[in-house]
Amino acid sequence: MKKEERMASEILNDIGGKENIQRVAHCMTRLRLSLKDDSKVNLDGLKQVDGVMGVVDDETLQVVIGPGTVNKVAAEMSKITGLGIGEEASLDDEDLTFEEKAALDKDRIKSKNRTPFKNFLRKLGNIFIPLIPGLVASGIINGVANFAVNAGVDREQTWMQILLLFGSVVFASLGILVGWNTAKEFGGTPVLGAIAGMILFSPLLADITIYGEPLIPGRGGLFGVIFAAWLMTFVEKNVRKVMPDAVDIIFTPLITLLVVGFTSLYAIMPVAGVLSDGITIGLTSLIDTGGAIAGAVLAGFFLPLVMVGLHHGLTPIHLELINVYGETALLTILAMGGAGQVGAAIAIYVKTKNKRLRNIIKGSTPVGFLGIGEPLMYGVTLPLGRPFLTACLGASVGGAFQAVMSTASSGIGVSGLSLIPLITNGQYFTYFLGLVISYTFGFIFTYTFGFKESMADGI
């Protein structure tokens, strides 16, 4: 039996069997399961499954498996249950047991307690998470190609032009992709959301004058695209309510496009432009004037954001900084969060005699160096408690260094050592030195007062 088949089977045993699964999904590192009855879950047994790095009991049950394996386990789970990935099982109240109805009521109560701000950030995450693989691939290609140009390679050579094309094309079309995903996330027609992105980034805008000023393509950035695409969905749904079925396919998208198109040019672009300027200028000013203190605070509080899955809400901010300045200084600071955690994990590995804990660290640390920190977080530092805090402290020291040295990245989607090719202004070694500082202080803080062997009992 292959590893992923065994893991899928053992996970199913600890969550109440395949009949208890409502929905199967996954992200880059976590298997996400919506269950009919949460009380059937054996959390302790689930944590002991070989290959499982941690468990998060949130709105959905999240089993931390790690990149490269999680998609295979999800596929096996889909095969066993008969559910497509992302497909929901039908619910018939008459077929529900008392326990299942109670679990459903509990989920409804949970949904009432979700704050609008958390829901907003989760929506942002759902818009950008599907784009991350493309951003990672293109970002790395772009970083390597520009590194080669800086080293003296002629950018007019055909192979170099091709690499620069591969590295830049996703960023040139990002407004379209974000518009598509936004409309899809809010239940609208994706192509109308994509058109919203096309409108706001079209070069033809420069030939149009409104309020006495020529329009600027991309003004308002992705914030404008997200709002325009959401408005497309809102208008489309309301027009469809009154539109006869016979002419719906013709007039609903036509009216939607005209209404939102004019609104985008006359209202969304100016307002989103002010919002975008405020965020980008505010952040850069904070980093420039706050210096080491600002860097320490930003880096130190990043891991808690990752813990609750809200860090993806920062993606449009990074992309807007790149759109305006050609780089994001925020990313290099926040990347120290993962580095501090790596240092903490190494300190625990050195001190502990717990075989299972050492195996989790051995399996999770390599991807931690590459900037994927969830396996270490949910499998090591967070369950132990204090090492999570010392990892944040180690990150703060590295974040302060990066802020003082003004390092920045030309792309997003990667972190840790993987981010080195994307560092701007030739500051590759400076950024790497910041990583080493975070590794070191994460190790020192954790080794000296962040971990004792009794914490590993029962992990």
- Which residues are catalytic, by number? 27
Please tell me the distance from the alpha carbon of residue 204 to that of residue 197, in angstroms, as a whole number. Answer: 13
What are 88's strand-pairing partners?
23
- Closest by Cα among 373, 323, 366, 413 to 141: 413
Structure tokens at 348: 């625990």
Phi/psi at 9 (5° precision) = -65, -45
Sheet-wide strand order for 61-64: 21-26, 30-35, 61-64, 54-57
Q: What angle do CA 297, 298, 300 make, to 5 degrees?
A: 65
Question: How far lies 314's CA from each of 153, 298, 310, 367, 428, in Å?
Answer: 34, 12, 8, 22, 23
Helix (H, G, I), strand (E, B) or coil at 24: strand
Give the number of other CB atoms < 10 A from CB of residue 50.
11
- Give the span between the Cα atoms of 284 and 282, in whole angstroms: 6
Q: What is the DSSP letter of 85?
A: B
Torsion of Cα atoms, 74 then 75 then 80 then 81, to 10°? 60
Residue at 429: amino acid letter: F
Task: Assign 119 to helix, strand or coil.
Answer: helix
